[in-house]
């Protein structure tokens, strides 16, 4: 799923792809790696909605091809919508 992200101190967004995404976090494939512990914001649009979701996250680990993120402080309504969408991907 395509996403875009930026660090808390950045002004420009970077494009990325998600891998292993869930309500708790995601791995995003990118060459723009933020340091572990950095706060970033992810923006994504689900295929089932035209609404763009902004998800605050913390970088928990990084590799040469991306970053593992933990979502933090996400609004409950957003979590519920994400959970509903992800449940459809695994058959309920």
Q: CATH number of the domain at 9, please.
A: 2.40.10.220
Distance CA 91, CA 73 (A): 27
Our count of domains for the chain comes to 1
pTM attached to this predicted model = 0.84
pLDDT digit of tens for each residue in the chain (92 aa)? 899 999 988 899 999 999 888 888 999 999 999 999 999 999 998 877 788 889 999 999 999 999 999 999 988 888 888 888 777 776 54
Nearest alpha carbon to residue 5 among 35, 28, 22: 28
- The domain of 23 spans 2-89
Q: What is the CA radius of gyration of the chain?
A: 13
């Amino acid at each position: 799923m395509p996403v875009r992200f930026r660090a808390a101190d950045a002004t420009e967004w970077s494009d990325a792809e998600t891998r292993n995404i869930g309500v708790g976090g995601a791995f995003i494939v990118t060459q723009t790696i933020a340091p572990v512990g950095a706060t970033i914001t992810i923006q994504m649009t689900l295929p089932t909605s035209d609404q763009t979701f902004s998800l605050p996250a913390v970088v928990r680990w990084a590799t040469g091809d991306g970053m593992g993120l933990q979502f933090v402080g996400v609004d409950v309504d957003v979590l519920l919508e994400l959970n509903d969408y992800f449940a459809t991907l695994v058959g309920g």
